[in-house]
Structure 1
Amino acid sequence: MRIQLCFLAVLVALGLLLSIHPQAKVQNPSQVATQASGDSNIIELNKYLGGTEGKLNNKPALNFKFTNTNGSATNTCSIITTDNYLRHSKNRLENINLSESNFYFDCQWNGTYYFLSNRYRTYAEVIIKQPDSQFPMSMHIEAKLVSLTGERVEIISGDISLRRKSR
């Protein structure tokens, strides 16, 4: 009985997914190739768009936006972290399979939303490099995200300066 209920729940969820995204095709995630960066499944970030203050889990938070110089203005990735987690993180933010509620990372890229999940192997790691007399504060980003249709994407970056360049 319990197995039948679980199977029915999966069918209902799949039906809802397909009704929300009529173009969505159910595919084996290992066979999916995304269009994140040409025909590959890698997004390379290299440009900081700016930051804003906000809330995460009803706590004060900072939101940082990134893109790449080749992408369109609608292709962005976001880091949001609580002030407290950022201060006590020892310059390393990490979220594996949604294990950390004070740090989140997601991307909107070529019309597809990529996010952290506890159903797939996903993670996000951000290394914060503190400023010195020669270099501004920067972030190094690595992540593996998934879309609603099971598409996977890898996010990579070099050290991205958090100093916004004038337009």
Structure 2
Amino acid sequence: MRTLLYISPLLLFISTPFQATAPINTAVNAVANTTASTTTIELNKYLGGTQGKLKDKSALIFKFGNGNPNNTCSIITTDNYLRHSKNRLENINLSEPHFYFDCEWEGTYYFLSNRYRTYAEVIIKQPDSQFPMSMHIEAKLVSLTGERANIISGDISLRRKSN
């Protein structure tokens, strides 16, 4: 049997060839699901927006939270992607370079990854005579230690309320 050791600056993988059977895979999946903790993040407040850069292109940054100044999530999207998105921003496993979503929550940084199953989806609801523009957010993110975060929100008005 040959064991391969891959070393990179950030990750260490040990790979051993083996023949898996269905019961072993099920057991491995059950262990993986029970060892990683999951945090649910409920966003309910728009904290404001700024301009910035994403991949050296002009971008908009929207910040959201729950009232605790230490807990924030950010949507970063290029102007062009936002204009042509048809009111739906989506990034699955870092497949979209013009839209990014991350959170700093209870001291843990959560982000999109191409190594784990992650995604972020933002539905933009255009304003009408009775309601201001709003965003509905759903995401599954991961931390550097493998912790998972499920992010949810109702329709959050983009009208910033004074404190």
What does 1:62-73 align with in structure 2 at a 5 Å threshold? 62-69=60-67, 72-73=68-69
Number of matched residues?
Answer: 145
In structure 2, C-alpha distance between the alignment counterparts of 1:155 and 1:139, rounded to whole Å: 13
Partner of residue 18, structure 2: none
Q: Does 1:146 align with 2:150?
A: no
Asked which structure has the greater RCO (Cα within 8 Å, sep 6+), the reply is 1
Deviations 1:124-157 (CA, angstroms, capped at 9, x unpaired): 0000000011000000000000000000010000
Alignment gaps of 5+ in structure 1 = 15-26, 35-40
**Structure with greater strand share of residues:** 2
In structure 1, C-alpha distance between the alignment counterparts of 2:44 and 2:149, rounded to whole Å: 16
Percent of residue pairs bearing the same amino acid type? 76
- Report which of the two structures shows the higher radius of gyration computed on alpha carbons: 2
**Structure with greater helix share of residues:** 1
Q: Does 1:134 align with 2:138?
A: no
Deviations 1:11-43 (CA, angstroms, capped at 9, x unpaired): 9724xxxxxxxxxxxx94642224xxxxxx210
Cα 1:166/1:101, change in 2 over 3 Å = same
The TM-score, its normalising length taken from structure 2, stands at 0.83
1:9 shift after superposition: 1.1
In structure 1, C-alpha distance between the alignment counterparts of 2:32 and 2:64, rounded to whole Å: 29
In structure 2, C-alpha distance between the alignment counterparts of 1:52 and 1:29, rounded to whole Å: 38
In structure 2, C-alpha distance between the alignment counterparts of 1:79 and 1:133, rounded to whole Å: 26
The residue matched to 1:55 in structure 2 has which SS?
Answer: strand
Supply the RMSD in Å over aligned alpha carbons.
Answer: 2.2
In structure 2, C-alpha distance between the alignment counterparts of 1:28 and 1:8, rounded to whole Å: 21
Partner of residue 36, structure 2: 32
